[in-house]
Amino acid sequence: MQTALITGARSGIARALARHLSDAGWRVALVSRDAAADGEPAPAGAFILGAADVSTEAGASQALRDASDCFGAPPSAVVNCAGSTLIAPITRTSEAQYRAVLAANLDTCFFVAKAYAAALAGGKQPGALLMFSSVVAGTGVANHPAIAAAKGGVEALVRALAADYSASGLRVNCIAPGLTRTPMTARMLGNEASVKQVVAQYPLGRHGEAEDAAALAAFLISDAAGWITGQVIGLDGGFGAVRPYVRAG
């Protein structure tokens, strides 16, 4: 049976992915900095491990140990959904905010990857590791310098890890979403005017949903994606690649 550890259990994408995988017959374990994940029950077929802060080496290692104990072996796949966002110009970004963005987004990826590779007999066993970047890492978007820097590091890390572990069959990939409706982005989509402004930026005419990311993530960690590694795949309604023709007013 396929098994998956999903970090960042409180995120909307993590929950949607847990439901998707459980429905497909996977055994799923979730971990977050808060064991109770705000009291929300685990999706059917999934269970929540003890608390672990995966932005630290010790926390990431603990999460992998707990998952391996839960499954009786290292997970078939690990998906790092831990993260945060910050929308602010650089002159209004404090050092504390910048460090927090790096920790939540880049450090979590680095230490989760290190712990997973170690769990797979030092990277000598096959597996699937999936991380999340953002459309702002590949396309300049105003007021996103801290998160763009962090997610750009995630994308570089994905390619480096894919090179290190491809011979063992450990595949490493990344999804770079556009704005996706989750609890973290709820304020950006809080009213009809905000939604209208957001969707106008996307060629396909809508924002993303957590289920969009869950479906792509489930594919990328599955055997069906067995010949895909080192890729950053945009999930952004065409934002990063398409410029529709706009008539002058």
Q: What is the chain's pLDDT, residue by residue, as a tens digit (249 residues)?
A: 899 999 998 889 999 999 999 999 999 999 998 765 445 667 777 888 889 999 999 999 999 999 999 999 999 999 999 999 899 999 999 999 999 999 999 999 999 999 999 999 877 889 999 999 999 999 999 999 999 999 999 999 999 999 999 999 999 999 999 988 777 665 765 667 767 777 778 888 888 899 999 999 999 999 999 999 999 999 999 999 998 777 776
pTM, 2 dp: 0.93
Q: Residue 66, CB half-sphere, CA atoms under 13 Å: how many?
A: 24
Tokens of 53: 């802060």
Task: Tabulate helix, strand, coil % of the chain (nearest 5).
Answer: 45, 15, 40
**Cβ-contact 126, 169 below 8 angstroms:** yes
pLDDT at 189: 58
Evaluate the CA torsion angle 100, 104, 109, 111 in order and state its sign.
positive
Whether 229 contacts 172, CB under 8 Å: yes
Do residues 81 and 10 touch, judged by C-beta distance below 8 A? no
Structure tokens that stand for 133 in this block: 């970047």
Half-sphere exposure of 27 (CA within 13 A, CB side): 14
Phi and psi of 183, rounded to 5°? Answer: -55, -35
- Class of the domain covering 3-180+209-235: alpha beta
Q: Token pair of 168, please?
A: 């063992």
pLDDT at 3: 97
pLDDT attached to residue 45:
72
Specify the pLDDT at position 117. 97
Cα 148 to chain centroid distance, Å, stands at 14
The tokens for 190 are: 């809080």
